[in-house]
Amino acid sequence: VRLLMEQAHSTARNILTHYHEVLDNLAERLIADETIERDEVERLFATVTPWTSGPLPTVATNGAVDGAI
């Protein structure tokens, strides 16, 4: 069980670290306006590829996703 928890923690940390800019943008927007509409959330997360397993995709500085799953 401990190994599974450590692996899940590592995976979650990697995902959050990988997409920290997207999450920072979301936080800034919420701080500014407290609420945002669905289309704005979709725009903010447009560069995020849903992750199911395997290596994380690489996000280029221009927002292009390389190695998307």
pLDDT digit string, tens, across residues 27-68:
999 999 989 999 999 999 998 887 776 666 555 555 444 444
How confident is the model at residue 3, as a pLDDT? 86
Q: Nearest 5 degrees, angle CA 25-CA 15-CA 41?
A: 35
How confident is the model at residue 57, as a pLDDT? 55
Note the pTM of the prediction, 2 decimals.
0.60
* Token digits of residue 17: 């670290």
What digits encode the pLDDT tens for the residues 6-23? Answer: 888 888 888 889 899 999
How confident is the model at residue 32, as a pLDDT? 94
- String of b and e for 17-26 (b: at least 16 CB within 10 Å)? ebbeebbeeb
